[in-house]
Chains A and B, each alone.
Chain A
């Protein structure tokens, strides 16, 4: 047993941190948040050149063939700077789905392009408000095409291909399709976090190619979500840590009643509680990463554990960061809003806290831990 990142992985962390502090300062996030560009294309290009998009893609598909330990190191840093790029959609969802369930031809076609950033992928799952279930999916496919509406789809406006969750008559009632988005109608959707773009995709007999086998789509969707949950959780942990650091830095500088507000117990205890939640979430993410890298039987439970604790930690850290800033935290000019927005976006992007709490207990019920207890 060994519960630490390796020296090489820590080096990668240092490199990623210094690269992002130069190339993704808060001003960049603000540019995307306030402007019309859907994402930071220059940053995306640099990230691709660094090989981050191809971290876990095998070498024979144009990737670096590294482990998930390297990928989570990057995910945490992406989260720390609330990077305005389609990293989660393309890397955690689309690449992962094709890696897990794609045919050789599909892998050959998409993975090398994801690896270089030449193509962006996404996962088209939601169809408006409410918790998705096999019965709630209205999008439907025939043998070669698909029709229906998906929204909000993260990065749906800029993605080249989507894995679309579709209903079907066989098996678990769901199948997954790969759909080239070049001829699909896309309408940009506004969300609470404009530093990440979203779209509504309308499929009207759009050409579609089955991913994995028909009637296994709900099972596959759950596996895709479990894998992505660990990676999202690391972004959330990175964001929580940055929000804590920002709150502390401000509290040390800001004087009231003749001393830094960091000296008041109400602020000290608040930030200590943030630290506690962050630490527990991070530790759970270690567990999640191990299960993800091994793709072992504990993944569903470990992923939900990582996800629930990281979602709670980021929400808490981001709101208390604003609180610590007083009136300034509530201004557009200050950067506290970035974390608060991103925290909530990430917490609904692949399913809410309460959904993941439910999944956690389901996973526990199905794990051997429940038998052993």
Chain B
């Protein structure tokens, strides 16, 4: 065990730092651009210099870097305020799935465009009837020659409105138990028959959507895995999803709330001198470092080329509640003005936004309860829940309280 850089790692870090210092976009450059344009500008610049998705093999647009080098890159890039949220699903979930399941031509065609930021991908998994119970989804695909015809509805699809491609799981056989009747594809979001309708969130934004499919045609070659193997392919995506979502702090993390506690006062003294404030902050610090080092520890598995394991559920589980609790606490520290947002609230105004966004983090990508089930069953080896739908053909499973 050694938390220090080896000489080679130190050299690499230095190289990363120098490149970032010379190339990270300035506020002027980003001025006037929307989130997508900003992200694309930065992504393309990284790609052109060989710094995009550095863990990926070079033939797919990466740099062939090691897992540790990727951590170093993340640590250094994290020190700069750079844009990049819109590529998370494509690079973090679709790409690992393509790497594991797509053919060579498809990888060479799509992965470099994901790395360069030319294409944005979305994840068309959840449906009104299939959220936590993803395998209960109903959107169906029927074979027609060399094509599949898709009909149905997806929901909660983040970024569908600006995505170029999507990964999708659909039902191809309703007469077998639910997990065995699914098939996985990728598709062009501009295919005829796709309609995207935004859904407004409690945070005010409309980042997720309903997506309707009416006779949408997908060539059979865009199938990933065998017909009926969609569940296994989805698991590749979901494991990477949890690894990718884990630990995201939405800007509200220990160091920010610590600084807030230095500025606001309790009984005429900086709040940070109050012992109950210190205790709370200490706990969050422990969670933050605990998550960070847990992530590092799982690198060994990743560097052996293994897919991220169920233990990655910890990051999302702990990180999402921590964000929610910290946002709530930060507003308390502001006392009577805690709920204020907008211009008058100055820098304190970010906390209500984080507070309103946080509930989504505890649901997206597998809810807290589902994460706990995964840890209990897959890590601790405890029994599965009793499942009334087990082994029953999908078409015969009860679907609502009224029938």
Contact = CB atoms under 8 A, between A and B. Distances in A.
Interface of A: 1-6, 69, 244, 248, 251-252, 259-260, 262-263, 265, 267-269, 271-273, 275-276, 279-281, 283-284, 286-287, 289-290, 294, 304-305, 308-309, 312, 354, 356-358, 360-361, 364, 369-370, 373
Interface stretch (B174-182, B217-225, B368-376): B368-376
B2 interface: yes
B4 A1 contact: yes
> Size range of the interface on B?
35 or more
A259 B372 CA distance: 20
A287 B383 contact: no
A357 B274 CA distance: 12
Interface string B262-301: 0000000000100100110111011101111110110110
A315 to B, nearest CB: 13
Given A263-B386, A279-B311, A283-B294, A1 B5 contact: yes
A interface secondary structure, majority: helix
A358 B290 CA distance: 18
B275 A248 contact: no
Contact of A259 (B1, B9, B380, B383): B383
Main secondary structure of the interface of B (DSSP, over half): helix
Contacts of A5: 1
Nearest to A360: B282
Given A276-B314, A309-B290, 15 more contacts: A248-B381, A259-B386, A263-B383, A268-B377, A269-B373, A272-B371, A276-B375, A280-B286, A286-B1, A289-B1, A290-B2, A309-B286, A312-B283, A357-B278, A358-B282
Interface centre among A248, A272, A294, A364, by most chain B C-beta atoms within 10 angstroms, is A272
A250 to B, nearest CB: 12
A69 B1 contact: yes
B382 A271 contact: yes
Nearest to B286: A309
Given A5-B1, A373-B258, A268 B290 contact: no
Nearest 7 A-B pairs (CB), nearest first? Answer: A280-B290, A268-B376, A357-B282, A373-B255, A283-B293, A272-B375, A263-B383
Contacts of B259: 373
A280 B382 contact: no
Interface string B2-31: 111110010000000000000000000000
Contact of B2 (A2, A279, A281, A360): A2
Contacts of A304: 282
B155 to A, nearest CB: 25
B285 A305 contact: yes
Nearest to A370: B258
A268 B385 CA distance: 9
